[in-house]
């Protein structure tokens, strides 16, 4: 398989460590990187993003093989591993950098995201996930990459809960 067969998804659901934890354990996910999307500052640092003033969200870049896992199933996992009803927070992590967001790259991805939100809202969930066009991903510092793999810990605010 060549890299030209891979696709990427850009997802924010609170602390990027917990989001990455779940995707690293999923068949069809080839690689993950944590970083920042959705803000205005060029090449932001963790310290700058953590102020909540750059507009960035802690984001996971998910590289996947669409022959093994679909974008729709990636988004289902995204919604099932965080609470998409919390505004600018996830558990104890509070601030705009912890918002729930999908950064779509084309109209098909946007439509899939909106369809899944409709399904969740039909179950009476008030989904606040931001659906925004992807612009730029800034890779976070090395010490943030694969955090839970390095520490042997598990996420404190990302718990799997079946929703679909």
Kindly list the catalytic residues: 15
**Residue 155 to residue 153: CA distance in whole angstroms:** 7
- Going 143 to 157 to 131 to 3, the CA torsion angle's sign is positive
> Cα(7)–Cα(133) distance, rounded to whole angstroms?
16
CA atoms in the 13 A half-sphere facing the CB of 79 = 26
Q: Is 134 left (phi over 0), alpha (psi -120 to 50) or beta?
A: beta
- Region class of 118: left (phi > 0), else alpha (psi between -120 and 50), else beta: alpha
Instruction: Give the closest residue to 56 by CA, choosing from 48, 67, 64, 65.
Output: 48
Alpha carbons 110 and 95: distance in angstroms, whole number: 24
């Amino acid at each position: 398989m060549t890299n030209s067969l891979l696709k990427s998804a850009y997802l924010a659901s609170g602390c990027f460590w917990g989001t990455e934890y779940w995707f690293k354990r999923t068949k069809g996910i080839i690689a993950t990187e944590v970083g920042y999307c959705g803000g205005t500052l060029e090449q932001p640092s963790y310290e700058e993003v953590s102020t909540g003033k750059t507009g960035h969200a802690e984001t996971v870049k998910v590289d996947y093989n669409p022959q093994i896992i679909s974008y729709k199933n990636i988004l289902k996992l995204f919604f099932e591993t965080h609470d998409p009803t919390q505004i600018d927070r996830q558990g104890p992590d509070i601030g705009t950098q912890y918002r729930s967001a999908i950064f779509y790259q084309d109209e098909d991805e946007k439509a899939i995201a909106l369809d899944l939100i409709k399904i969740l809202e039909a179950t009476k969930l008030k989904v606040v996930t931001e659906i925004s066009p992807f612009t730029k991903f800034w890779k976070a510092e090395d010490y943030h990459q694969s955090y839970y793999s390095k520490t042997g810990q598990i996420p404190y605010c990302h718990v799997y809960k079946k929703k679909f």
